[in-house]
Amino acid sequence: MISKFCTSYAITHRGVVRQLNEDAHVEINSHNLWVVADGMGGHEAGEVASQLVVDVIRTKVQELELDVLSISHIVGAIEEANRQLSEYSASYLDNKTAGSTVTALFLKDGNYHILWAGDSRAYLLRDGELQQISRDHSQVNDLIDEGVISVEEAKNHPLSNVITRAVGVMENVKVDVIKDKIRTGDIFLLCSDGLTGELSDDDICMSLEPNSIIDSGMALMHSSLVRGARDNVTCILIKYDETKDNQDINAINNMDEATIPLFTK
């Protein structure tokens, strides 16, 4: 999809193992906002949770014009999703967990803003260097901070899938926000942990080498599926370029929805 100065491409797959896709995403290009959510809570609850998160954000954001939209509005939408998920859990799930991670990119006034809760990630590729902007809200990261384990030990740690923050699991949700200046040529990646569970940062950076974000997105998905894709995989790539990358724009205008083959073991 295309907005002023931005081209975005989103792709999702249930993976090789899972029967349901409990990831959800939305591209609100008219408001320079992109969101990925990864649901949790057992059969179908995770699917409901992630979809509710992106639907609430989309509804709340589209009530406003871009010139008045602010970070506080987006955080407020996530807080509203948290409230609605808690009500859904109480009404239909006997208070069992129906939660979701969320990570979002918002561009305005020459700045980028990353918002997140959970372990879905946001990356920035700038001048050929890949940087993870978000920081996982997870028990493993807490152990790293406390000096209990090393970064290398964290990769295969049994608590690697245990997150410490999400939408819908507590009465209040805390959303972290990072803001910085944006540059022409910046490429952002928002993704669920189904991608980062299969690919290292070096693998991701290599997949982002093509000039086309469509080619990059397809490469990321293909690589994760070939490696077994034990979880749902979702990613959104957003390229900021004031000169407009016509290669991406023409490709997106002319392509049908991407179909990725399902690899079986």
CATH number of the domain to which 241 belongs:
3.60.40.10
Residue whose C-alpha is closest to residue 238's, from 94, 53, 114, 93: 114
**What's the length of the chain?**
265
Lowest mean pLDDT among 35-49, 54-68, 107-121, 177-191: 35-49
Structural domain includes residue 265: no
Structural domain includes residue 50: yes
Structural domain includes residue 260: no
Could you tell me which residues are beta bridge partners of residue 107? 112
Look at the chain and report how many structural domains it folds into: 1
> What are the E-state strand segments in the chain?
2-3, 6-13, 23-28, 33-40, 99-108, 111-117, 121-126, 129-132, 176-181, 187-191, 233-240
Local confidence band at 161 (pLDDT 50, 70, 90 cut-offs) = confident
For residue 243, what are the contacts with CB-CB under 8 A and spacing of at least 6? 184
Structural domain includes residue 96: yes
Higher pLDDT among residues 252 and 262, named by residue: 252
Which residue carries 């392509």 as its tokens?
Answer: 255
Helices first, then strands: H and E counts in the chain: 8, 11
Structural domain includes residue 243: yes
Could you give the C-alpha distances from 10 to 31, 33, 35, 178, 198, in angstroms and in order?
16, 13, 10, 22, 18
Q: Containing domain of residue 6, as a range?
A: 2-254
Structural domain includes residue 264: no
Structural domain includes residue 261: no
Structural domain includes residue 87: yes
Express each pLDDT in 50-106 by its tens digit: 999 999 999 999 999 999 999 999 999 999 999 999 999 999 988 888 999 999 999
Please state the pTM of the whole predicted model. Answer: 0.89
